[in-house]
Amino acid sequence: MVNKKQNKIFSAKSRNNLTWKIGGEAGFGIMSAGLMFGKIFMRTGYEIFDYTEYPSLIRGGHNTYQLVVDTKPVNSINRQVDILIALNQNTVVQNFSEINNGGALIYDSDKVKVVAAKLADKQIKALAIPLTTLAKEAGGELMRNVVALGASLCLVGQTLTIANKIVKENFSKKGQIIVDNNIKALKAGYDFAKKNIKEEFVCQLPTLPAKDNILISANEALALGAIAGGLGFYAAYPMTPSSSILHYLARIAEKTGLVVKHAEDEISVANMALGAAHVGVRSMIGTSGGGFSLMTETLGLVSLTETPLVMVNVQRAGPATGLPTWTEQADLQFILHAAQGDFPRIIMAPGDAGEAFTMGHQALNLADMYQMPVIILSDKLIGEGYTTIARLNTKNVKINRGKILTQAQLSKIKEYRRYKLTADGISPRTLPGMKDGLFIANSDEHDSYGFSNEDSQNRVEQVDKRNRKLLEFAKTMPKPLIYGNPKAKKTVVFWGSNKGVILDSYVALPDKIKSKIRIMQYQYLWPFDGEFTKKILNTSKEILIIENNPNGQLANLIAQETGIKIQNKLLKYDGRPFFREDIINALKKF
Measured from the CB atom, is 106 or 276 closer to another protein?
Answer: 276
60-70, strands of its sheet edge to edge: 125-129, 99-108, 81-86, 17-26, 60-70, 47-53, 386-390, 213-217
d(CA 81, CA 99): 5
Label the pairing between strands 259-262 and 233-236.
Answer: parallel
CB of 431 to another protein, least distance (A): 6
CA 231-235-241 angle, to 5 degrees, is: 105
Measured from the CB atom, is 154 or 216 closer to another protein?
Answer: 216
Measured from the CB atom, is 155 or 338 closer to another protein?
Answer: 338
CB of 281 to another protein, least distance (A): 4
Nearest alpha carbon to residue 239 among 336, 148, 312 = 312
d(CA 429, CA 70): 50
CB of 146 to another protein, least distance (A): 21
542-547, strands of its sheet edge to edge: 481-484, 517-522, 490-495, 542-547, 569-571
Measured from the CB atom, is 263 or 564 closer to another protein?
Answer: 263
Measured from the CB atom, is 26 or 440 closer to another protein?
Answer: 440
CB of 124 to another protein, least distance (A): 35
- Is residue 101 helix, strand or coil? strand
CB of 383 to another protein, least distance (A): 15
* 48 strand-pairing partners: 69
Measured from the CB atom, is 254 or 574 closer to another protein?
Answer: 254
Measured from the CB atom, is 214 or 566 closer to another protein?
Answer: 214
Measured from the CB atom, is 176 or 394 closer to another protein?
Answer: 394
CB of 267 to another protein, least distance (A): 7
- Specify whether the CB–CB gap between 488 and 519 falls below 8 A: no
Measured from the CB atom, is 74 or 129 closer to another protein?
Answer: 74
- Specify whether the CB–CB gap between 111 and 97 falls below 8 A: no
CB of 40 to another protein, least distance (A): 13
Interior/surface letters 392-423, b for 16+ CB within 10 angstroms, e for the rest: beeeebeeeeeebbeeeebeeeeebebbeeee
d(CA 185, CA 330): 43
From residue 243, give the alpha-carbon distance in Å to each of 38, 236, 463. 21, 8, 35
Measured from the CB atom, is 154 or 302 closer to another protein?
Answer: 302
CB of 512 to another protein, least distance (A): 39
Nearest alpha carbon to residue 355 among 313, 310, 399, 390 = 390
From residue 202, give the alpha-carbon distance in Å to each of 78, 84, 122, 154, 552. 21, 15, 17, 8, 45
From residue 582, give the alpha-carbon distance in Å to each of 429, 535, 572, 587. 50, 28, 10, 9
Interior/surface letters 188-218, b for 16+ CB within 10 angstroms, e for the rest: bbbebbeeebeeebbbebebeeebebbbbbb
Measured from the CB atom, is 26 or 263 closer to another protein?
Answer: 263
CB of 230 to another protein, least distance (A): 4
d(CA 125, CA 507): 30
* 77 strand-pairing partners: none
From residue 40, give the alpha-carbon distance in Å to each of 48, 182, 207, 460, 574. 10, 15, 10, 60, 32
Rg (CA), the chain: 26
- Specify whether the CB–CB gap between 226 and 397 falls below 8 A: no
| ω into 527 cis (within 30 of 0) | yes
Q: Which one-letter amino acid corresponds to residue 568?
A: N
CB of 525 to another protein, least distance (A): 26
CB of 379 to another protein, least distance (A): 20
Measured from the CB atom, is 437 or 577 closer to another protein?
Answer: 437
Measured from the CB atom, is 121 or 254 closer to another protein?
Answer: 254
CB of 264 to another protein, least distance (A): 4
- Specify whether the CB–CB gap between 561 and 555 falls below 8 A: no
Measured from the CB atom, is 398 or 588 closer to another protein?
Answer: 398
CB of 452 to another protein, least distance (A): 6
CB of 440 to another protein, least distance (A): 4
